Amino acid sequence: MPLPRFSPTRRLAMRRYGLVAMTMVALSAVLAACGGGAGSNDPNGSTVKIGVLANVTGTVGKQEGGATRVLEAWARNVNARGGIGGREVELVIKDTRADAPTTAAAAEEFIADESVVGVFSLTFSTEGSVGQQIADSDLPVVGGAGFNPKVWGALPNWYGITTSFPNVTGIQVWAAAEAGATKLSQISCAEDPSCVASESTFKSAVDEVGASYAGLVKVAATAPNYTAECLAIADRGADFIQLGLAEAIAPRVAEDCIRQGYTGSFGASSNSLTGTLTSVPGIQLNGGLNAFPWFMESPAAQNYRDVMAAQKVSEDDWSSTPATAAWASAKLFEKTMSGVVSGTTITRDTVQDAYGAIKDETLDGLLPQPVTFTRGEPSPRIDCAWLYKLENGTLVTSGEPQCSAPKIAS
């Protein structure tokens, strides 16, 4: 089957639900879509309830919200195949709205509900506010995606499967080095301090590959254009610009810089890498991904695309690293828990024991490196990631994760 193009004209499919008139029918339909009917882990062990903490409607939550649709599709698919060891999967999704108090309240509800045996975390901006709260409980975070180094790889109960800090920043520099860039710069958002928090790590990675650093320029999302900022970068002689911007802003900045004569490459990762960005006329893109590339050529990645097509998930929802991290996390849970004897109730303790026994797992290439967990200890750091580039309008990757920084030839 040919690989799908990363279409620049895709539209986000909007899901609409019925309103009050058929409340109980609608509720049943939603539960069925998420894979649940029993509503809890019943004594016969026939249901597995998993929570999801996700920024669905908050600031820059489009891709995190899309990842929840991927998880719902996974639940429908696994249930159609008989569930996990004969047990039906039920997802309970709570929208954190990128708000710390809302996230904390949602986490506390999951902790208090003993029928929830694990949680997927997809709330990048607020995961730090609940890291210790969840670590102090018996509720395991069975994957998802995140970036906070004080949570992932630092706290027990958080089982991470995506590239860890600092390499989650360094991979962008690696991509620039692979592209032959020698003078690297950053354009980052002005509104959120987290946009520039990794500048020192970026600079260190630039030194590591033997390049020079051309500095960071901040831009405001509300600015009418970015001519001045692009000219400032050009005056410094930059031949690579890392876009630390929201998905709606990155294409505008790239267009303005190209219009001002910039001919170098752009770097984009996570929320910045979209079909709109890849369709900017004349753009050159090189970057790194902390979860498997949705466009990768492999049987496991093809299965992902096939399931998304069969479940009618919008390409806008499944073509991102939050989406592929969610899928890999769900597949790891499915594989890990399928060995539990049928008829046995899966509990948090069961999940913790099973995850503590995971050793050198790769999920047929869906994980950036072999993963081993130890119960009660923080997850090991994940150093590897996938590099990609835009080639003739199509995103391509070798499919082999890279685990150390390249050196620029002198």
| Mean pLDDT value across residues 281-298 | 97
Tell me what the mean pLDDT of segment 191-218 comes to. Answer: 92
Computed over every residue of the chain, the mean pLDDT equals 88
Given a cut of 80, whether residue 301 has pLDDT beyond it is yes
Q: Report which of residues 162 and 1 the model is more confident about.
A: 162
The pLDDT value given to residue 10: 37
pLDDT at 8 over 50: no
More confident residue, 65 or 36: 65
- Cβ atoms < 10 Å from Cβ of 355: 23
Q: What is the percentage of the chain residues whose pLDDT exceeds 70?
A: 88
CA distance 348 to 127: 20
Say if CB 274 and CB 253 are below 8 A apart. Answer: no
The whole-number pLDDT of residue 408 equals 54
Range from 9-23, 61-75, 118-132, 302-316 carrying the lowest mean pLDDT: 9-23
Closest C-alpha among 221, 198, 224, 53 to residue 127: 53
Q: What confidence score (pLDDT) does residue 217 get? A: 97
pLDDT at 62: 85
Question: 71-85 pLDDT, tens per residue?
Answer: 999 999 999 999 999
Residue 20 pLDDT class (50, 70, 90 cuts) = very low
Is a pLDDT exceeding 90 seen at residue 361?
A: yes
pLDDT of residue 45: 59
Query: Token digits for 279?
Result: 């369709």
Q: Quick check: 59 pLDDT over 90?
A: no
Considering only residues 250 and 191, tell me which one the structure prediction assigns the higher pLDDT.
Answer: 250
Query: Is the per-residue pLDDT at 7 higher than 50?
Result: no
Assigned architecture for domain 167-289+387-396 = 3-Layer(aba) Sandwich (3.40)
Residue 17 has pLDDT above 70, yes or no: no
* Burial tier of 203 (Cβ tally within 10 Å: 0-12, 13-18, 19+): middle
To the question of pTM greater than 0.85 for the whole model, the response is yes
Query: If one looks up domain 20-163+295-379 in CATH, what number appears?
Result: 3.40.50.2300
- Report residue 14's pLDDT band, with 50, 70 and 90 as the boundaries: very low
On the question of pLDDT at 12 being above 90, the answer is no
The pLDDT value recorded for residue 270 is: 74
Residue owning tokens 């890498």? 273
Core vs surface per residue 366-404: b (16+ CB within 10 A) or e: bbbbebebebeebbebbbbbbbbbbeeeebebeeebbee
Q: Residue 319 in contact with residue 6, Cβ under 8 Å?
A: yes
pLDDT above 80: residue 293: yes
> CATH 3.40.50.2300 occupies which residues in the chain?
20-163+295-379, 167-289+387-396
The 10s digit of each residue's pLDDT in 309-333 is 999 999 999 999 999 999 999 999 9
CA 297/CA 33 separation, integer angstroms: 29
What's the pLDDT score for residue 32? 37
Averaged pLDDT, 125-153:
96
pLDDT digits 0-9 by tens, 372-381: 999 999 999 9
pLDDT at 19 over 80: no
pLDDT of residue 1: 44
pLDDT of residue 272: 86
Q: What is the mean pLDDT of residues 248-258?
A: 96
Strands 240-244, 183-189: parallel, antiparallel or unpaired by DSSP? parallel
